[in-house]
Structure 1
Amino acid sequence: MSFSTASTSSSSFLVWWHGPVLAGGGYASEALAFITGIDVHIRSAAANQKHGNSNLVALWITPHGDGTDLKYLEGLPHALQDTIRRRMAPAHVTPRAIKQAVKQTKATHVAVVCHSEPGAWDPAAFSTSRCPPFGYLRTYAGIPFVHIGRTMFETDMLDPGHKQRLLRMDKLWVPTTWQRDVFAKHGVPTAKIDVLGEPVDEKLYQAGGGARYTRAELRQLGRRIRLDKSTARTNDDVDHGQERAVLLAVGKWESRKGFDILVRAYAAAFCAVEDDVASVDKMDRWVKAPPLLVLKLSNYHGNANAAESDLVAAVNATCAGDVWIITSHIATSDMPKLYRSATVLVQPSRGEGWGRPHSEAMACGTPVIATDWSGPTAFIDESVGFPLKNERLAPVEESDPSHHWSYKGHRWATPSQKHLTKLLRHVSSTEGQKEASVRGKAAALRMSRFSPSKLAEDIAQLLQDMHLRSAKGDDHSHEEL
């Protein structure tokens, strides 16, 4: 690995990453992938100094923006747990601690990254660790500081309270050009925004011959819901043929994820017998032996326990289907096994900042049916997945009345249920499964562009390109402590 990016720069950085690294959820997964890449980058540079030094010389981690989920932490790969322990910042960072760290690592600057939704940034809208930790001071303990916000959103607007926090940062790192354009449209200068994709740990999320769950094992992990509201007993252990597709959806239980659209499309695809005679036999086979639909639901800021009643209430199906909900915890180290078990990942979400399950599944060689709007458009097209039509942008409160006030005026996508029905039938056919396999291989190749090591090099380049000493903002204090 070359570290020539720093050879012409006199700046070197202690990167102080603040994020919900112990909480689970998309921000946590993303932050840990960045941390993995930076850690390897720094250690590789130290071991290969004769090939040139990196301008990333030290890494600190501070939990920020959310709580701690011990099950999530225990389920991380052991090597990643070790990285977290090694890189954890002191509990109380004093001027003396900063000076010692800078002296030991020969850093010239501290780059503070606040990786969370902007409501957690100073002054935070809720209780969390302070980020930036010393406000927006340009120097602390005589050391130059730069403040970077890493964030994203899922609608076509920007919260006014968030905007003020975004403007106080020296730089904003967003994952897609779509997000950059949304922020710019609502008053954030484009010069302040850099596009930095999301890393996916290719050593964890591997395509190819890795382990996967059998259909019987998937059923053992979850519980079945009957779409026809019937209480009739069924033999849930019967598998109607190994050629059947496995449709997987992953995410927290909330309206944004569009799981209501997914289950309605599934019922329309595999329960309703069509009028034309040619399709009746095919539909009859699907009704008797439909593809397996598995919803891996998270309780992270959601209520997965309400999923069964909510989904059944949303569907007026004429057949039971073969739908299973998994709400039990699956360790991060086992998630690749789940992704590889699926024919496709189905994510008909109304809006995504990036699409964490999308990219993880693709890295495992599983293609994705994803709404053709917002974050996933940065890396999903028909060569690597199955873009789902967006019928229109609709007010958030139409699909989620609970956000009537906080998302007032915001819009997000309306994934086409009709198109999703068509796609589900296609990928469940013999021909469609073969096509999904081909696109899955291409998807894994595409996600290799987003390895942690590549994204760490991008960070090194972005920091090198920043003119820290001359960058000034109206809301920054230049007082030195």
Structure 2
Amino acid sequence: MAPNLKSFIVFSSVFVMLLAISFSFSRTNYYKILHLKSSLTSYNYPTFFQSFLSFLLKTPKPNDSWWSNPISRPSHCVLWMAPFLSGGGYSSEAWSYVLALNEYMKNLKNPSFKLGIYQHGDLESLQFWEGLPQDVKDLAIELHQTECKKDKTIVVCHSEPGAWYPPLFETLPCPPTGYRDFMFVIGRTMFETDRLNSEHVKRCNRMDSVWVPTEFHVSTFVQSGVDQSKVVKVVQPIDVRFFDPLKYEPLDIAAAGNLVLGAKKPDSSPGKEFVFLSVFKWEFRKGWDVLLEAYLKEFSKDDGVALYLLTNPYHSSSDFDNKIVEFVEDSDLKKPVNGWALVYVIDTHIAQTNLPRLYKAADAFVLPSRGEGWGRPVVEAMAMSLPVITTNWSGPTEYTTAENSYPLQVERMSEVTEGPFKGHLWAEPSITELRALMRQVISNVEEARAKGRQARKDMVTSFSPEIVAEMITGHIQNILDK
């Protein structure tokens, strides 16, 4: 790769991240924020980067120190590269690791490494950045300035393998200049199907180590051809202090949602319905069709229930109301004599700071997914003491049990028919079983609440930040010792 292109790729990411961070200090400057937001949402990577090309290529060639922070003391560095400014599953997961590690390292007298972060793997979102708590923004600024020398740096590439060096799409590659320039390179990834494709196997085997979140992934990665000696299970943490039901009042969920199906009774007051909540990006894998069919077949207006779908587009348009209506019209669903049970869509951005309040407004969480890498919304709901119904396959099998949730039976395995994982298999959750479990939750409220309480206990005892941070620190120390 030519030196100028190297400079361009590395410093374009630095510039974009620092640009987004800088606007957090001028929140009242509406026009600047609007301009940046427009830039980040209206352009793809090549076009956006080209607009800054002349500026970037004047930037000095990067040397072994990409950042400067004289306060940093340990010589070794862990550079975590992930879509920190993007939102979504990998972003949420990466932040959970970094926040846990940072807090844990504060209590160490002589930490053996320092921590740095770097934007990688997806488009930046100003809306997501603005929704982060201020202390997280402050930490992002601090960690982005950490000095990391290549030959003393462990790089964590926290993204799907297509973003790893050399990337298959426009993104800052990870590691930025190739595998041999750094002390150790870790790929942190996961998949939602029963296997990996050959290209991803090849990319995983280039890594010094591959961290996956569950035993399910250990099995699927090794069976697909990833070197068993490289695969390490590192579970995800959940911030049980942030997601704590005792700290929050419920969000006004009815005001946040658009009523798509059903009609409220004239004499009913807000908050009287039993609220089912589901959180997902709008794609077939998430099983929104399974959820709607089960819910609309099982309940009617007289059951006093409401289903809220917090969703966002994923390679699709955002007219979710019409998509739901079309799905119902094209199905064999029959409208009950007394009317549809209520279905709401929340398609506006809910800031990270308000997510606990959203869960607090629900009585149960349900996600009949066909496959999950981990299931961030599921563990967030469990930390908030909600009874959870989710498919008993893939990522959630790492933490759901009959005691702390309602594992949803898999009816059969089905073949992925489109996209990059075409030909792979994933689960088809049972609609009949889902109907029964949703009915059970509203009919046995005390049992459901007991499962929710156990769910929170399990999140605290097995997946709290300090427990996972200690695990990660141990893995990193082993690398340094070698």
TM-score by length of 1: 0.79
Of residues 158, 165, 184 in structure 1, which corresponds to 2:196?
158
Does residue 366 (structure 1) correspond to residue 386 (structure 2)? The answer is yes
Q: Distance in 2 between matches of 1:385 and 1:71?
A: 33
- Does residue 1:54 correspond to 2:111, yes or no? yes
1:82 aligns with 2:138: yes
Q: Is the Cα–Cα contact under 8 Å of residues 283 and 314 in structure 2 kept in the other structure? A: no
The answer for the alignment partner of 1:422 in structure 2 is 436
Alpha-carbon distance between aligned partners in 2 of 1:248 and 1:314, rounded to the nearest angstrom: 24
**Structure 1 gaps, min length 5:** 1-10, 91-96, 103-107, 228-233, 272-286, 470-481
User: Is residue 252 from structure 1 mapped to residue 252 from structure 2 by the alignment?
Assistant: no
Higher relative contact order (CA 8 A, sep 6+): 1
Is 2:116–2:148's contact at 8 Å kept on the other side of the alignment? no
1:133 is paired with a residue of what secondary structure?
coil
Alignment partner, residue 276 of structure 1: none
Distance in 2 separating the partners of 1:349 and 1:249: 10
Aligned with 1:134: secondary structure? coil
Cα RMSD of the aligned pairs, angstroms, is: 2.1
User: Is it true that 1:294 corresponds to 2:308 in the alignment?
Assistant: yes
Q: Establish whether residue 352 from structure 1 lines up as the match of residue 372 from structure 2.
A: yes
For residues 303-318 of structure 1, the aligned pairs below 5 Å read 303-306=317-320, 307-313=323-329, 315=331, 316-318=333-335
2:99 to 14, 21, 36: 36
* 2:222 maps to which of 184, 198, 201: 184
| CA–CA separation in structure 1 for the residues paired with 2:388 and 2:97 | 23
**Does the 8 Å contact 2:278/2:308 carry over to 1?**
yes
Residue by residue over 1:443-477, the C-alpha shift from the partner in whole angstroms, topping out at 9 and shown as x without a partner, is 111111212222121111112223775xxxxxxxx
Superposed CA offset, 1:208-229 (max 9, x none):
352113xxx32211111126xx
Aligned CA distance change for structure 1 residues 88 and 62 (closer, same or farther; 3 Å): same
2-structure distance, mates of 1:119, 1:238 = 54
The Cα of 1:190 is off from its aligned counterpart by 1.6
In the alignment, is residue 194 of structure 1 matched against residue 232 of structure 2? Answer: yes
Measured against aligned partners, the alpha-carbon deviations of 1:277-301 in whole angstroms (never above 9, x if no partner) come to xxxxxxxxxx424311101112355
54 and 419 in structure 1: CA distance in 2 versus 1, 3 angstrom threshold: same
Report deviation, 1:342: 1.4
Matches within 5 A, 1:201-220: 201-208=239-246, 210-213=248-251, 217-220=252-255
Choose from 441, 450, 459 the match for 1:447: 459
CA contact (8 A) 1:212 1:340 kept: yes
Q: Is the 2:194–2:424 contact (alpha carbons within 8 Å) kept by the matching residues of 1? A: yes
Give CA-to-partner distance per residue, 1:211-263, whole Å, 9 cap, x none.
Answer: 113xxx32211111126xxxxxx447753785642100001011000011111
What does residue range 102-121 of structure 1 map to in structure 2 within 5 Å? 109-121=152-164
Q: After the TM superposition, which of the residue ranges 78-87 and 295-304 deviates more from structure 2?
A: 295-304
Q: Which ranges in structure 2 are unaligned for 5 or more consecutive residues?
A: 1-73
Q: How many correspondences in the alignment?
A: 402
Q: Secondary structure at the match of 1:39?
A: helix
Contact map agreement 1:62 1:89 (CA 8 A) in 2: no
Query: Quick one: distance in 2 between partners of 1:121 and 1:436?
Result: 43
- Cα distance, 1:407 vs. partner? 2.0
Q: TM-score, normalised by structure 2?
A: 0.79
